[in-house]
Every structure is written in C-alpha cells, then in structure tokens.
Amino acid sequence: MKKFSILIAGGGSTFTPGIVLMLLDNLDKFPLRKLKLYDIDKERQDTIAGACEVILREKAPEIEFLATTDPEEAFTDVDFVMAHIRVGKYAMRELDEKIPLKYGVVGQETCGPGGIAYGMRSIGGVLELIDYMEKYSPDAWMLNYSNPAAIVAEATRRLRPHSKILNICDMPVAIEERMARILGLKSRKEMTVRYYGLNHFGWWTDIRDKEGNDLMPKLKEHVAKYGYVVNDGGDNQHVDASWQDTFLKARDVYALDPDTLPNTYLKYYFFPDEVVAHSNPDYTRANEVMDGREKFVFTECKKIIENQSTEGSALHIDEHASYIVDLARAIAYNTHERMLLIVENKGAISNFDPTAMVEIPCIVGSNGPEPLSIGEIPQFQKGLMEQQVSVEKLVVEAWITKSYQKLWQAITLSKTVPSAKVAKQILDDLIEANKGYWPELH
C-alpha cells in the first residue's frame, strides 16, 4: 500500500489533536509516511505540535513529523492538504457574533452578517493555501473544511476554477450519526441518503437502508417530537448545551416542511427572532468555545508536553472526523464512495442556478467528485436557496471588486437581517472591526 504525506493547514486548530488521533486510528485504511502542521501563528501551533509529537512518538514513530510556519517547508512533498484555518481566530469570531446582536440580529459563525464577515476574511487565507499547494505540490488535493464553506467554495469556483479543492462539511455527517442512533443502526454508513441544498442550508429527501427500505417515517416520528436529540451517543464535538438546543430546535424547523428532514442550521433563517431572544449579547458561542474546547485542548496539550507522555490524557479521537479519511481514500484508492460535497450545481438541481455551489451527494473517485442528479426542487426550498446563494455570490463579488455597495446588498439580502438600514449599521461596524483582514472597500 502506498503511504501518504498529509499537511494539516491551521495546525494550531482546536480540532488538530482529535484529527491526528483519528488519522493514527485509521492507518490500516490510510497509511501515512509524513504528517506536517502549518499555521501562521507559531506560538499557538507549537503547543498543539508539541503534543502531537509525543502522540506520534508513542503511537507511530515511523511517521515523519514536522510543524512549521514556512510555506515552502510545509507544502513541499504533500499528497493531501487538510485545511481548517480560522482567519482572525476566536477573537474575530466573537466580534462576528456580537456586532450583529448589538442590532438585534442573529450573531453566528457562518450564518447572517457574522458568516459574511468571516467569509470576507477567509477567502484570502484559503486562496493563499491553494497557491502554496499548487506551487510546491502541484499534484496534491486540498480537502477544505475552513468556514464559511459556502462562501469559500464560491470564491474558489470564481477565482481558482481548476484547482483541486474539495469543500466538505461535517454537519450532515453529525446529524446522520444521530439518525443512525434513532434507527438503532450501528453506523450512518448503513444508510443511503438523498440530500440537497447549500452548505449549512439543506434537506434530506430520502433515507434508506441497504435493502432499500424507507427509513424516513421512523425518523420523522422522532424528529417531530425531539428534533435530533438522542439519549445516548452523538459525536464528541457537538456536546455543549447550546448544541443540544439546536438539535431540539430541529423539531420546529422540520414542522415547516414535513416532507423533508432539515439541516440544523436552518433555524437561524426560520427563527431568527427566537435565536436573538435566546442569545446573550455579552457571552456568545465564541466565549463558550474559548472557555470550553479551546481551554481544554490547550491545557491537555501542555500537560502532554510537560510529561512527555500521553498517559492520563483526556484528549480523544475525533471519530466523526473520519469522513475526511473517507474522502482522502476515495481520491487515493478510487473507492467511488458516495458523499455529500459542496460542488458547482451544473444542472444537478435542474431548476436552480447552474453556477451555484450546492451541497449534494457525489460519487468520489481518483478524478474527483461526480455529482448525482437531483432534479427539480420545490418552490419553498428554491426560493430560500435563491436568496441565500445570492447573498454568498454578492459577498464574493464584493471581495473581488472591493465593493461596499455589493456587501451592503449581501447583508440586506440575508434572511436574518430586517432592513437595509440595520444592514448598513452592522456593515459599518464590521468594516471597523475587520481592518487589516478585509480588502479596503470603496
């Protein structure tokens, strides 16, 4: 079996240790010869890297390990780049969430004005990674899950149309794991799903077992009562109380269209007033994550470094991230795995913009993804998606042309924003907060 060289871009991410442990747990399926971390924040990455070095020394000393902030060193001799950068880190996420809330508007990482602001920061960062990859390892593939994936995907479609980048999200994976639990199945892989939408904006239309039995009725019965709340299990990423609220809220989101099962993120578009009413403008999800996951991961990594041992470490394998290995294997071994990816529509949804980046099932092989045909979608979803995809396209247009006007239009068009006046107030605050991260708008 060929052994692969992986680069994790955004090496200082809170998700890096869980993903490294997951990769080591999957070496029989996906063998590695080299594992590298790359970040622009040396100090942050050094803590994560110091722990990863100990983990690798214990579990797989044969794998060459390196952490660097030098692009040439990082991107040379790489087969896959796993990209999970957060341009501006949690400090900027906090502002993305708090600025809209000041005006009574949803404050969220990837939805509404917060997601738009994050998009304006991410585009340049991800393009830079692509350019490094193409310069130093032109045959490599980038598996990108840096957010906001919808905007990043549209930007790369426009600006790097021939690049080998695959955009993927873990929310459908996490929800499908819950569905499997509801159905009493061992794994989501026992289900075959039909799904369509935009990233963080989609619906399941059909879910069957391998014999072809329809599993939707049983799932609908559960979701109508409990949303995606399950008693046992779920992944270990979406565990905080606020995530439980979101899984429960899927019950009300489902009520709007009982023909389908919804992505949890639709709550921000259907119930923005309730979301705002339940938000604390002084303590948002960014604060929860900084006080929770970030503190936990960095404390555990420091302990490992100090002890030069993982004994007693509470760091755990991020099992649900194994979808990334499935994707890499699909490319590496031509497995033709069926996966949800964010790809250009090109007629897959026949009554929708062919240039939209949509999230739909694809068959993935060595030559990339082959999207499945969806056909026509109903008026309700089509209307919602046309509005949202226009927001995403306008953001990318604003970034390319450095246009204040386009960005004001994008924020105004977001279903989470009540008026052009409020959109302008939020935009002006966001511009101030994002100095140095956004192109200068005129």
Binding positions for Mn(2+) are 169, 200
229 in Cβ contact with 248 (< 8 Å): yes
d(CA 368, CA 387): 29
The least CB distance from residue 218 to ligand NAD, in Å, is 26
Annotated binding site for substrate: 93, 147, 285
Q: Is 79 in the site for ligand G6P (CB under 6 A)?
A: no
Task: List the structure tokens of 404.
Answer: 């204040």
Of the candidates 425, 150, 409, 97, the one whose C-alpha atom is nearest the C-alpha of residue 275 is 97
Cis, bond preceding 148 (omega within 30 deg of 0) = yes
Of the candidates 164, 160, 87, the one whose C-alpha atom is nearest the C-alpha of residue 121 is 87
Query: In the beta sheet, which residues pair with residue 363?
Result: 338, 370
Q: Which residues are catalytic?
A: 170, 265
User: Looking only at residues 38 through 57 of this chain, which bind ligand NAD when binding is defined by CB under 6 A?
Assistant: 39-41, 44
Q: Is the Cβ of residue 44 or residue 84 nearer to Mn ion in the bound state?
A: 84
Q: Is 55 in the site for ligand G6P (CB under 6 A)?
A: no
Contacts of 2 (CB under 8 A, 6+ apart): 31, 332
The least CB distance from residue 286 to ligand NAD, in Å, is 9
How many residues form the binding site for ligand G6P (CB under 6 A)?
Answer: 8
Contact characters 169-208, ligand NAD, x per CB under 6 A = xxx-------------------------------------
254 in Cβ contact with 227 (< 8 Å): yes
User: Looking only at residues 273 through 292 of this chain, which bind ligand NAD when binding is defined by CB under 6 A?
Assistant: none
d(CA 326, CA 369): 13
Comparing every residue's Cβ against ligand NAD, the nearest one is: 12
Contact characters 115-154, ligand NAD, x per CB under 6 A = ----------x--x----------------xxx-x-----
426 in Cβ contact with 96 (< 8 Å): no
Q: Is 289 in the site for ligand G6P (CB under 6 A)?
A: yes
User: Looking only at residues 71 through 100 of this chain, which bind ligand NAD when binding is defined by CB under 6 A?
Assistant: 84-87, 89-90
d(CA 15, CA 318): 8
Q: Is 169 in the site for ligand G6P (CB under 6 A)?
A: yes
Q: Is 285 in the site for ligand G6P (CB under 6 A)?
A: yes
370 in Cβ contact with 363 (< 8 Å): yes
Comparing every residue's Cβ against ligand G6P, the nearest one is: 171
d(CA 78, CA 283): 40
Q: Which amino acid is at 66?
A: L
Choice from 54, 55, 171, 175 touching Mn ion (CB under 5 A): 171
| Angle subtended by helix axes 16-25 and 295-307, to nearest 10 | 60
The least CB distance from residue 140 to ligand G6P, in Å, is 23
Residue with tokens 């906090």: 94
Instruction: Return residues touching ligand NAD (CB under 6 A).
Output: 9-10, 12-15, 39-41, 44, 84-87, 89-90, 125, 128, 145-147, 149, 169-171
The binding site for ligand G6P (CB under 6 A) comprises 109-110, 147, 169-171, 285, 289
